[in-house]
Every structure is written in structure tokens, then in C-alpha cells.
Amino acid sequence: MPEAPSLYAHVPFCASRCSYCDFHTAAKSPQALHDSASTWLHAVDRHLQSHGRRFGDSGFNTVYLGGGTPSWLPVEILIKVLDVLGKSARAGGREPAEWTVEANPEDVTGELLNMLAGSGVDRLSVGVQSLEDEARRIAGRRGSARDTMKRLELIARGWSARWSADLMFGLPGQTPSGIARDALWLAGLGAGHVSLYELTLEPGTPLQAAAEAGTVRLADEDERADLYEAAAEVLVGAGYRRYEVSNWAIPGQESIHNEVYWAMGDWLAVGPSGVGNVASENGAFIRLENADDDGRYYDDPAGSVRESLVSGVDAMFETLLTALRTVRGLNVSSFENRFGIDACTVFGKLHEEFPELVQYDGISLKPTERGLDVLNVPLLAALTNAERFEKNSTTGNGVSA
């Protein structure tokens, strides 16, 4: 059976918004959520049917239900969501290689876990962020550290499939000893995958406003490095392998869905603000950006999509950028097969210019451990070289892209 695209479904609802979050979500009370979620599901179903007519109805390689907070959906709506997604994913007799659902610990119950498993979900991605109460308070996370730990223990006891936990570093109120305890505790519970994200201060968020007003003190660069190193040391000692800039896994428990993104594979998206990516000719790909206006998306899901063609040097650079986020790196033969040109011709010999950051083993350009931390350095040089290559190509002084 040929490779199918993957599917991302975006849930634009949460119980409350975290102070650092700029995702497309809206806080909804349980009373207000039901009607909005029903409208959202109807639009998602229509969009899936449209995708099937255009791209073929042969199932999905992986499914990822994220947001937002899928676990905040009313149970009866979530059951319908999983049924709709499951039928699309299994079209043509296909069985997804991975099906992930994001959940907040505060929503986890034994009934939820049983329902997810019974629907075919085989991976949970759980938003933890921190188990230090001060950091949780400033971040606007629901629930105390103690309550969150109880729910995570329930997952450890009641969920037999794979699960991942998200941690952040750089949150106000975090300490190196605290984040080390968090990582050690999650490893001891059996989380096979840990995402370790650095806090990014996004414009317009409450945390950004508080930092500007001076009511919250953010960790400086050295303090962030201490937080990261404390967590990383624990993860290495517990047998995790850093396989992408922000992601660690016990070997064999890497996220199959996310690796589709990093390899610039094909994926479709449903739900407002979701973004899809489908290969086109000559290495180009079609970027499909769903409307981030809920009403416009609900009125006409497929018609509200903004399409653009990413081609030439732009497509090449995106392919390099995502590949160098991973320890697998950029396979130069695959790149040449895709674009008809050698990567070093476009980007320069990054492994010679930055040997401490990028290495070449005769098959792939790969970031070193240090390179994963400062990818902007070789990527900026690659972009400069690519722009020079493109200019020479258009003036007849180089190889055409």
C-alpha cells in the first residue's frame, strides 16, 4: 500500500489559556463548550470529505488530535470526533501507524483513558510544563503540582500504550533542582518520550505584558542554560536520546507523526488555523493554511483555506531547516532526488564551514549536539548561500533551480 499523508486535527478550545500561549484557542466553560464543539466537529467532518475528494480517500499514515485541549471536549463530542477521524484514517483498509491525542492531566480519568484506547488511540501527549507550583501559577496552568502528579500516576497505571510528557524550561519560578526532579519523576513513571521546550515570550500574551511591566522576572540566558542542563542530564541518565532539538525519547518511542513534519512529508490539516503540506512537482510543496477565524472556517472549511506554492530555493531551505532539527539530519541523496541538485551546491559546505556544528558522514548532513543548540548559526549561513545561489541562477551565472 503506498504511503498515505498524515492528518493533524486542531481543537481550538481550552478550559483556560496559559499566560505564555499564543496558539489559536479560546477558553470555554463546560456550559459554553458543547454547542461550539458540535459546530467545530461538523466543519471538520465536511473538511475531511473535501480532502478525500481532492487528495484521495486512502486513509492516513498518522493522526494527531491537538490544540488547544482535546481532552477538554465534552465526552460525547470527543467520542464522535474519534469516530469521524478513525473512519477517515482507516479508509481503504489502512491502519494508522500512530494515533496521538493531546491531554491535560487535569482532564484525565480512568474512563477517558479507556475510551481513547477503545477508539484506537495509541499515544498520549500530556501537557505537564512544570511540577513546581510557583512556575505553574505564573504560567496559568490548571491544577496544583500535587494534583497533576496524581493524574500522571493514573496514566502510568491505567494506560498501556505509549505516552509523552511536555516540559518547559525558562518559566518564572523554576529551579534547576526542580526541573531535574520533574524529569526524573516522569522517567520513573514510564513516559517514553519527553519534549523539553524553551519558553518563548510571544507578543500579546499576558506573560509578555507582565515581563514588560516588571511584575515577573524571566530567567536570563545562563539561568535557562542551567535549567536545560539539569533536565538533560537526568534524561540522558535515564536512557533517553535527544533525537530532535526539543524532543527526547527512549529509543523506539519517537513521535512518528512529528517526524513527518521534519522530513517535509505530506500531511493534511482540519480545524481552524491548521496547516497542511502536500508535495508538488520539482520538489515544491503546496502549503494549505486553514482560516484562523472560527466563523469563516465553520461556514466553508475547504473554501477558507489559503493555498500557496513553496518552490525553488524556498522549498530547499525549508527542507534543510526541518531536517537539521533532527539527529538524522539531511540525506543528501534524497535531497538531490527531490530537487535535482546537490545540497552543498545550494547551501555551501556547512560541515567544512562549521565542523563543530554540522558533520557529514558521506550520507547525511547532521547537526552535532552543540549544533542542535545553535542551529541558527549554520542555517543563517545556509540561507545566505542559498540566496546567492538563487541570484546567480536567475542571472545565468549558476545552475538553475
Looking at the structure, do residues 33 and 159 belong to the same domain, yes or no? yes
If asked whether residues 30 and 167 sit together in one domain, one would say: yes
Same domain, yes or no: 32 and 122: yes
Cα 217 from Cα 207, distance rounded (Å): 10
Residue 54 binned pLDDT confidence (cut-offs 50, 70, 90): very high
With respect to residue 290, please indicate whether it lies within any of the assigned structural domains.
no
Residue 81: per-residue pLDDT: 97
Task: Please report the pLDDT score of residue 400 as a whole number.
Answer: 43
- Specify the pLDDT at position 32: 86
Number of structural domains (the chain) is 2
Is 70 exceeded by the pLDDT of residue 263? yes
Rounded CA gap, 184 and 181, in Å? 5
Q: Confirm whether 302 is domain-assigned.
A: no
Among 25-29, 161-165, 233-237, the least confident range: 25-29
Q: How far apart are CA 78 and CA 83, in angstroms?
A: 9
Q: Which of 191-200, 327-336, 387-396 comes out lowest in average pLDDT?
A: 387-396
pLDDT value at position 57?
87
Same domain for 248 and 331, yes or no, is no
Distance CA 400, CA 389 (A): 9
pTM over cut 0.85:
yes
* Residue 191 scores a pLDDT above 80: yes
Q: Is the pLDDT of residue 362 over 80?
A: yes
Are 175 and 97 within one domain?
yes
The full 3-state SS of the chain, as one line of letters, equals CCCCCEEEEEECEECCCCCCCCCCCEECCHHHHHHHHHHHHHHHHHHHHHHHHHHCCCCCCEEEEEECCHHHCCHHHHHHHHHHHHHHHCHHHCCCCEEEEEECHHHCCHHHHHHHHHHCCCEEEEEEECCCHHHHHHHCCCCCHHHHHHHHHHHHHHCCCEEEEEEEECCCCCCHHHHHHHHHHHHHHCCCEEEEEECCCCCCCHHHHHHHHCCCCCCCHHHHHHHHHHHHHHHHHCCCEEEECCEEECCCCCCHHHHHHHCCCCEEEECCCCEEEEECHHHCEEEEECCCCHHHHHHCCCCCCEEEEECHHHHHHHHHHHHCCECCCEEHHHHHHHHCCCHHHHHCCHHHHCCCCEEECCCEEEECHHHHHCCHHHHHHHHHHHHHHHHHHHCCCCCCC
Q: Of 280, 277, 279, 164, give the one whose Cα is nearest residue 290.
A: 277
| Cβ–Cβ < 8 Å for 123, 164 | yes
Contact between 108 and 151 under an 8 Å Cβ cutoff? The reply is: yes
Length of the chain: 401
Task: Return the higher-pLDDT residue of 366 and 92.
Answer: 366
384 found inside a domain = yes
Q: What is the pLDDT of residue 30?
A: 86
* Residues 347 and 246 occupy one common structural domain: no
| 296 occurs within a structural domain | no
Same domain, 204 and 111: yes
Q: What is the pLDDT of residues 369-379, one digit of tens each?
A: 999 999 999 99
Q: Which residues contact 44 (CB under 8 A, 6 or more apart)?
A: 9, 81, 84, 270, 271, 301
Is residue 135 over pLDDT 60?
yes
Same domain, 194 and 341: no
Instruction: Give the burial class of 118: count Cβ atoms within 10 A of its Cβ; 0-12 exposed, 13-18 middle, 19 or more buried.
Output: exposed
Mean pLDDT of the chain: 94
Inside any domain, residue 392 = yes
Residues above pLDDT 90, as percent of the chain: 91
Q: Considering 192, 226, 260, which residue would you say is the last residue of a domain?
A: 260
Torsion of CA 275, 279, 283, 289, to 10 degrees: -20
| pLDDT confidence tier of residue 27, bands split at 50, 70 and 90 | confident
Whether 51 has a pLDDT exceeding 50, the answer reads yes
pLDDT of 1 strictly over 50: no
Q: Are residues 214 and 322 in the same domain?
A: no
Query: Does residue 401 lie within any of the structural domains?
Result: yes
Sign of the dihedral through C-alpha 370, 23, 3, 99: positive
CATH assignment of the domain containing 356: 1.10.10
Measured distance CA(260)–CA(117) in Å, rounded:
23
Residue 239 lies inside a defined structural domain of this protein: yes
Q: Are residues 253 and 320 in the same domain?
A: no
Asked if 34 and 161 sit in the same domain, the reply is yes
Q: Is the pLDDT of residue 79 over 70?
A: yes
- Residue 76: is its pLDDT beyond 90? yes
- Convert the pLDDT of each residue in 307-349 to its tens digit: 999 999 999 999 999 999 999 999 999 999 999 999 999 999 9
What's the CATH number where 236 sits? 3.80.30.20
Mean pLDDT, residues 145-172: 96
Q: Is the pLDDT of residue 398 over 80?
A: no
**CB-based burial label for 38 (10 Å; 0-12, 13-18, 19+):** middle
Domain that holds residue 400: 316-401
Q: What is the mean pLDDT of residues 143-151?
A: 94
Residue 401 has pLDDT above 60, yes or no: no
| Whole-number percent of the chain with pLDDT over 70 | 98
Residue 291 lies in a domain: no
Asked which of 219, 242, 260 is the last residue of a domain, the reply is 260
Same domain, 208 and 76: yes
